[in-house]
């Protein structure tokens, strides 16, 4: 961060010249003869009846100026301001940040030490841990999963104990640390429009009455062939693939009519970003515990 000595000198010269110049200005104006006028007399100038006194600065005002000059000299000795001179305190913005950061991290480690070694099901009983988890969630997760963690279209609800990848403590830590990518391929070319309608009807019939029975029957066979590998023969989903349970009324993506068909035609994917490289292990564990607490007492 050093600058060349030429620029350093440039700054020093201007700063020193200013301090000397202003000191002189103060000294000379406080001594200056006021053109023969006495205190309390006017200069003789008059504009529209407004006259101008020629009094010296009030004392307290003068002292304020003197104080700012003394302050500036003190500041320039303690802090960097004179070109490359570093100041006796050795203060830099970077160091100031690093020092404060260290203090905060130490404080956090101390705070965490009261609960961080507990297994997650026990940690959720710790009010402090949960309060911290809530703040961390608000900062790092809420924009995708909602501040109430109930999700949005394409972003899973984390409060309902219905999991894409599983809600066991270790699985949650895994999900948050490494992220997840759920990919559902496009089926338009394999199934054709009719085939898509049939499996869509079959998928819907689990949670919605009144599907066309003929379509459902045809869809059932196709489902076993094309879909069971990921969603399971019973369509109850598969945590290894992140394939959702299709038999309940909980949908990751919107299930409005027509939407199922378009998901099947075009495919869809969802990505939970990895947080292992951006959050510390302790915070991840607290977050996992917080998520766990949303569906457990």
Partner 1 sequence: MSKHAKIEKNIGLMGVLIALVVSMGGLVEIVPLMFQTSVIEAHPNLKPYTALEFAGRDIYIAEGCYNCHSQQIRPFVDETLRYGHYSQANEFVYDHPFQWGSKRTGPDLHRVGGKYTNEWHEYHLMDPRSVVPESNMPGYPWFAEKLVDAEQTAAGMKVHAKWFGVPYTQEQLDSAQADVDGKTQLEAVIAYLQVLGTAIPRSYK
Q: Where are the beta strands (DSSP E) in 116-272?
A: 180-184, 268-272
Using CB under 6 A as the binding rule, whether residue 165 contacts ligand HEC is answered as yes
Give the range of 142-150, 188-196, 210-218, 233-241 binding partner 1 by CB under 8 A.
142-150
Contact 238, 232 (CB under 8 A): yes
Residue 264 CB, shortest distance to partner 1, in Å, is 18
Considering only residues 169 to 198 of the shown chain, the ones binding ligand HEC according to CB under 6 A are: 172, 175-176, 180, 182-185, 187
The binder of ligand HEC chosen from 120, 252, 286, 294 (CB under 6 A) = 252
Among residues 211, 182, 185, 209, which one has the least CA distance to residue 199?
Answer: 211
Separation of alpha carbons 293 and 226, rounded Å: 36
Q: Which does 147 bind (CB under 5 to 8 A by kind): partner 1, ligand HEC, none?
A: partner 1
Using CB under 6 A as the binding rule, whether residue 292 contacts ligand HEC is answered as no
Tokens (6 digits) for 144: 């995708």
For CA atoms 99, 101, 102, 106, give the dihedral sign. positive
Tokens (6 digits) for 169: 């403590």
Tokens (6 digits) for 192: 């054709």
Residue 179 CB, shortest distance to ligand HEC, in Å, is 8
Separation of alpha carbons 259 and 263, rounded Å: 6
Kindly tell me the burial class for residue 96, based on how many C-beta atoms sit within 10 Å of its own C-beta (0-12, 13-18, 19 or more). Answer: exposed
Closest to partner 1 by CB, 139 or 161 = 139
* Residue 157 backbone phi and psi in degrees, to 5: -70, 130
Considering only residues 258 to 277 of the shown chain, the ones binding partner 1 according to CB under 8 A are: 270-271, 273, 277
Using CB under 8 A as the binding rule, whether residue 100 contacts partner 1 is answered as yes
* Exposure of 281 in the CB half-sphere (CA atoms within 13 A): 4
Separation of alpha carbons 203 and 220, rounded Å: 9
The binder of ligand HEC chosen from 203, 215, 289, 294 (CB under 6 A) = 203
Give the range of 36-44, 54-62, 206-214, 251-259 binding ligand HEC by CB under 6 A.
251-259
Q: Which does 97 bind (CB under 5 to 8 A by kind): partner 1, ligand HEC, none?
A: partner 1
Closest to partner 1 by CB, 189 or 277 = 277
Interface with partner 1 (CB under 8 A), residue total: 36
Separation of alpha carbons 53 and 60, rounded Å: 18
Using CB under 6 A as the binding rule, whether residue 83 contacts ligand HEC is answered as no
Contact 129, 123 (CB under 8 A): yes
Q: Which residues bind ligand HEC (CB under 6 A)?
A: 140-141, 143-145, 154-156, 158, 163-165, 172, 175-176, 180, 182-185, 187, 199, 203, 223, 226-227, 229-231, 241-244, 246, 251-253, 260, 263-264, 268-273, 275, 287, 291
């Amino acid at each position: 961060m050093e600058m060349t000595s030429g620029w350093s000198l440039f700054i020093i010269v201007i700063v020193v010249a200013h301090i000397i110049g202003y000191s002189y200005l103060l000294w000379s104006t406080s001594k200056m003869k006021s053109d023969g006028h006495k205190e309390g007399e006017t200069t003789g100038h008059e504009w529209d009846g407004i006259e101008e006194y020629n009094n010296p600065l009030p004392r307290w005002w003068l002292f304020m100026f003197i104080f700012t000059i003394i302050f500036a000299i003190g500041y320039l000795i303690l802090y960097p301001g004179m070109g490359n001179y570093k100041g006796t305190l050795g203060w830099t913005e970077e160091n100031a940040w690093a020092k404060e950061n260290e203090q905060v991290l130490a404080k956090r480690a101390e705070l965490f030490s009261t609960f961080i070694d507990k297994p997650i099901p026990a940690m959720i009983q710790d009010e402090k841990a949960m309060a911290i988890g809530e703040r961390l969630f608000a900062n790092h997760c809420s924009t995708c999963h909602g501040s109430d963690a109930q999700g949005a279209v394409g972003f899973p609800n984390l409060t309902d104990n219905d999991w894409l990848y599983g809600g066991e403590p270790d699985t949650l830590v895994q999900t948050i640390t490494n992220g997840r990518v759920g990919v559902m391929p496009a089926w338009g070319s394999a199934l054709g429009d009719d085939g898509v309608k049939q499996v869509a009807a079959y998928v819907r019939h689990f949670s919605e009455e009144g599907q066309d029975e003929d379509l459902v029957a045809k869809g059932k066979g196709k489902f076993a062939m094309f879909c069971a590998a990921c969603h399971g023969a019973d369509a109850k989903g598969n945590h290894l693939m992140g394939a959702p349970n299709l038999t309940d009324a909980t949908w990751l993506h919107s299930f409005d009519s027509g939407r199922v068909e378009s998901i099947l035609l075009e495919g869809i994917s969802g990505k939970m970003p990895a947080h292992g490289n951006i959050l510390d292990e302790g915070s991840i564990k607290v977050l996992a515990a917080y998520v766990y607490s949303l569906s457990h007492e």
